[in-house]
Amino acid sequence: MASSCFKVLSSSPWIGHRSFAANPSASSPPPRVSFAIRAGAYSDELVQTAKSIASPGRGILAIDESNATCGKRLASIGLDNTEENRQAYRQLLLTTPGLGDYISGSILFEETLYQSTKDGKKFVDCLRDANIVPGIKVDKGLSPLPGSNQESWCQGLDGLASRSAEYYKQGARFAKWRTVVSVPCGPSALAVKEAAWGLARYAAISQDNGLVPIVEPEILLDGDHPIERTLEVAEKVWSEVFFYLAHNNVMFEGILLKPSMVTPGAEHKNKASPETVAEFTLTMLKRRVPPAVPGIMFLSGGQSEAEATLNLNAMNQSPNPWHVSFSYARALQNSVLRTWQGKPEKIEASQKALLVRAKANSLAQLGKYSAEGENEDAKKGMFVKGYTY
């Protein structure tokens, strides 16, 4: 709800003068300068939404793939990329009985936000009835960044305010913006700054329109670098991100983060154990992320289903200042697709497969997951070099 603006007053002799060389008179005190701190109309609601998503034992189901990427998923089981097939698949996911026990939010693609079940019930209402917060992907994808080391920048700021207002009216309460950073490309200072500034502008616009922004600068798995190099890059990226979030007056209590786990490059000769991934990832977070942020919702980034769950579990073996959880797409959906195969008679079995993975990650968020009994398919990696969606 609306909160009144308040002012912070400073009497520092260095503030408010034309030059640092100015020498204020001893007989007259320096002028006092006020700084207005923005308090948006949705401040209280944003905090409540973020806390709801970052609730114990729950995480995010990401089904925000573009139509083209969803088509690739459907093609893997022999289905055409039609709106009817996309709607049927997402209905399968979003109407799974008991999903809200383990899932607190779901990121939707724009098409899905406005779709309904075959019986005419809006998907956003299906989610609300299950105590799951509807979210929306708002970026417009990656484009080559001129002047960089063959890197990318994320589009979508133009018109974002009006689009966000419409998404809020439709029922969305949080947003997602994904940009990427490539370790093999340097990364260049230009690409890191562009990623951080874009995320910060998006976050401020989202909060202005009632949407909790998920801040996602994905450090891509591509490369043969060691885990120490990933840590170095991740620290630099998150330092820039929070610098610009602060410059844009983003309220940290009303955001969620979606970082990559700190791992070696996918082509590195040595694979890191869950304990090592947890150690390096938590080191990065503790150095760069303020405790005011309510939730860290990790992406899986091409890890296998079991690997993503084991790494998350290792990070929750001791208390953290934030809710450390998941925002998985492939690591929740892969088993579902293999089970479904587009056959109506397999919908119930597919939904049970989703619940198995959701429950496993719920237990991992609580630090209580055991890999005992995991099937071999769940251990198969899903890394795709140069993956786009």
Q: What pLDDT, on the 0 to 100 scale, is given for residue 383?
A: 42
Where helices occur in 95-130 by DSSP H, the ranges are 110-113, 123-129
Q: Which amino acid is at 291?
A: P
Please tell me the chain's helix, strand, coil percentages from 3-state DSSP, rounded to the nearest 5.
Answer: 40, 15, 40
Q: Which amino acid is at 381?
A: G
pLDDT tens track for 126-155: 999 999 999 999 999 999 999 999 999 999
Largest CA distance in the chain: 87
* Residue 72: active-site member: no
Q: Is the pLDDT of residue 287 over 70?
A: yes
Q: What pLDDT, on the 0 to 100 scale, is given for residue 3?
A: 44
3-state secondary structure of 88: helix
Question: Which residue among 65, 110, 194, 216 is the active-site one?
Answer: 216
Q: Where are the domains of the chain?
A: 44-368
Sign of the CA dihedral running 205, 208, 211, 213: positive
pLDDT tens track for 152-203: 999 999 999 999 999 999 999 999 999 999 999 989 999 999 999 999 999 9
Give the model's confidence band at 374: pLDDT under 50 very low, under 70 low, under 90 confident, else very high.
low
Mean pLDDT, the chain, as a whole number?
A: 89
Q: Is the pLDDT of residue 229 over 90?
A: yes
Measured at the CA of 70, the angle between CA 202 and CA 102, to 5 degrees, comes to 70
Q: Is the pLDDT of residue 44 over 50?
A: yes
- Report the pLDDT averaged over residues 308-324: 97
Report residue 368 CA to chain centroid gap: 23
List beta partners, residue 375.
Answer: none
3-state secondary structure of 214: strand
Please confirm whether the linkage preceding 187 is cis (ω < 30° from 0): yes
The domain defined by 44-368 folds into TIM Barrel (3.20.20)
Token duo for residue 298:
């990790």
Q: What pLDDT, on the 0 to 100 scale, is given for residue 309?
A: 96
- Report the pLDDT averaged over residues 267-296: 96
Token duo for residue 220:
């891509």
pTM: 0.86
> Which residues fall within 8 angstroms of residue 220, CB to CB, at 6 or more apart?
180, 181, 182, 183, 260, 301, 387
Q: How many CB atoms lie within 10 A of CB 239?
A: 13
93 and 336 Cβ atoms separated by less than 8 Å = yes
- Report the pLDDT averaged over residues 99-127: 97
* Residue 258: active-site member: yes
Q: What pLDDT, on the 0 to 100 scale, is given for residue 225?
A: 94
Question: Which residue among 176, 240, 258, 305 is the active-site one?
Answer: 258
Measured at the CA of 130, the angle between CA 124 and CA 134, to 5 degrees, comes to 35
Give the model's confidence band at 41: pLDDT under 50 very low, under 70 low, under 90 confident, else very high.
confident
